[in-house]
Amino acid sequence: MKQIYSLRLLLLAGVLCLFSHQTMSQTYAAEGMVVTSNRQGAEVGLAVLKKGGNAIDAAVATSFAMAVTYPVAGNIGGGGFIVYMQANGETTTIDFREKAPLAATADMYLDEHGDLIINENHLSPKAIGVPGTVAGLYLAHSKYGSLSWADVIQPAIDLAEQGTEMLYSNYFTARFIEGRHEQNPEEMKYMNEFFRDDAGKIVEPGELWKQPDLAKTLRAIRDQGADGFYKGEVAARLAGFMKEIGGLITEEDLAAYEAVERPPVHGTFGEYDIYSMPPPSSGGVTLIEMLNMAESVSDDSLAFNSAEYYHYLAEFMRRAYTDRARYLGDPDFNPDIPLNEILNKERAARLAAGIDPEKASVSDSTQVQLPEGTNTTHMSFMDKDGNAVSLTYTLEYSYGSRIVAGGLGFVLNNEMGDFNPVPGVTTSTGLIGSAPNQIAPGKRMLSSMTPTIVAKDGKPYLVIGSPGGRTIINTVFQTVYNVLAFDMALDAAIEAPKIHHQWLPDQILFERDKVSPDTQALLRAMGHKLIPVNGLGDLNGILVEPRQNLIIGVSDSASPEGAALGY
């Protein structure tokens, strides 16, 4: 069974929304802040903060609510990461990345000739990894939440039962799916029904969209905790559905899933401390490695928005992404990841010193023996006591696998596509085959998600993250660098021009309306290949101004339904 969606067309909803609303949301507050890509979810988080909940309570409540209001990326059928810093500077992370089913094999997406079957690892039932979100949110709340579990789940149940306003993004997706259903009737059945009312009609924009199947699933999670998802009726129905459509996930896979608390990766930049997600996320390691390189280069070479600036950034990215491909993967399967070496400032300085200031390097695919989607979403939170949460979670593609779990009401991920699908094969087009991220049963796939908290004087200062697949790390890097190195206001840092280089393919993506033609010409003269794109990233961040007792929340203008809400 093959799905034949066009991702470009599926994203039409977001493009159309931009015509009606493209303004940055910036908010000032003294007590608490929630910043997300979906206002309906942010309103739930703000209400939890006002009720006396802490940042973890708000993050958990918002995450469940966005499974109802923002199914393009909000999820209980996917996974992600939390970085949590308490007001006293103590920091931890929660890893709830999806896992490969126990039946997965390293060559599961190859044909009899050893070639990759097109889209089998992205758009098929076998692309679905074991979801981690419910376990991760439950672990975070059980260790660090203050309100009851029922208190933080109930708002999502209410939204699903009573209905939430149908947004244009979801409406246009529904209309698109309606036109594709006849070509894919088996797998598309539940997705085609997903946006419809009891009479079978697609819910119109502005009307209430009710999701009774999802409400029932959420009630089981409310009443039984994580076991309400990973065991019992929900698990049995999900495993049965997987068997029906040819997926791999079983009740055994679900019962065996566990979220993991891990220490953060830590770096410094001047007077600031950087805390981010460790493997199986590649985000934190790669972010800190690039900041270390930037710190070692003179300010004269990094004048903001100059051709030299973009040249050096691209070369930092090239070197860090080479290390990403060579070394990083699930630490439970790769116990010898040389983190201390990768994060070493002296090594970073040596890498930076090897950059020719006038000529681009060449990416060599033989150096290392990384696919990732864009529909992730990031949220930032701060409570009245100064505790901060940076949370990124994902389904991978827009609406993940584009498969809705029959009778359960949630969209399933397609995260298996983040593994290296062809063992041992690395190409100049960007296919990576290195061993650390090859498929294995129970293994977590490498991620680019980069939820990050920067501390100043031992307290949360900047909370930041973004969606964007492999562009995430570079988008977060440039935003953090803008704030710390150039003393930019957060809104300016988020809206500033961004580029992306990921080692392979050997090219720079740049925002077409933000880099001048003269700068482009200078970069091409240095030997860089330039590819224009409409935008990079969708950042949601918080900056703390302690002298003014002020919390500043900013939602990227790239997020037409985003909001920064505080009180």
Residue 374 located in a structural domain: no
Cis bond upstream, residue 505 (ω within 30):
yes
Q: Residue 186's domain spans which residues?
A: 39-261+384-412
Q: What are phi and psi of 163, to 5 degrees?
A: 105, 150
pLDDT of residue 185: 61
Strand runs (DSSP E) across 335-421, as ranges? 375-382, 388-396, 403-404, 411-412
Q: What are phi and psi of 151, to 5 degrees?
A: -60, -35
pLDDT of residue 22: 41
Residue 566 located in a structural domain: no
Give the H/E segment covering residue 461: strand 459-464
**Distance separating alpha carbons of residues 129 and 479, to the nearest angstrom:** 31
pLDDT of residue 363: 87
**Distance separating alpha carbons of residues 365 and 367, to the nearest angstrom:** 5
Q: Which residues of the chain have pLDDT under 70?
A: 1-23, 179-188, 365-374, 426-431, 433
pLDDT of residue 6: 37
**Distance separating alpha carbons of residues 423 and 404, to the nearest angstrom:** 30
Residue 272 located in a structural domain: no
pLDDT of residue 119: 87
pLDDT of residue 11: 38
Neighbours of 407 (CB within 10 A): 14
Among 378, 395, 330, 424, CA closest to 123: 395
**Could you report the per-residue pLDDT of 213-253, keeping only the tens digit for each?**
999 999 999 999 999 999 999 999 999 999 999 999 999 99
Q: What is the phi-psi region of residue 285: left when phi exceeds 0, alpha when psi lies from -120 to 50, beta otherwise?
A: alpha
Residue 555 located in a structural domain: no
- The residue written with tokens 């739930």 in the block is 44
pLDDT of residue 16: 34
| Structure tokens that stand for 525 in this block | 């003269």
Residue 119 located in a structural domain: yes
Strands 25-29 and 550-555, sheet pairing: antiparallel
pLDDT of residue 140: 98
pLDDT of residue 170: 87
**Distance separating alpha carbons of residues 48 and 383, to the nearest angstrom:** 10
Report helix, strand or coil for 201: coil
- The residue from 376, 377, 452, 479 that is catalytic is 376
pTM over cut 0.75: yes
Report helix, strand or coil for 438: strand
Cis bond upstream, residue 264 (ω within 30):
no
| Structure tokens that stand for 462 in this block | 């900047």
Q: What is the DSSP string of 209-267?
A: E--HHHHHHHHHHHHHTTHHHHSHHHHHHHHHHHHHHT----HHHHHH---EEEPPEEE
Number of domains in the chain: 1
105 flagged as catalytic: no
- The residue written with tokens 């079978």 in the block is 200
pLDDT of residue 371: 39
pLDDT of residue 291: 98
| Structure tokens that stand for 156 in this block | 């999502």
Helix, strand, coil tally for the chain in percent (to 5): 40, 20, 40
**Distance separating alpha carbons of residues 482 and 197, to the nearest angstrom:** 46
pLDDT of residue 547: 85
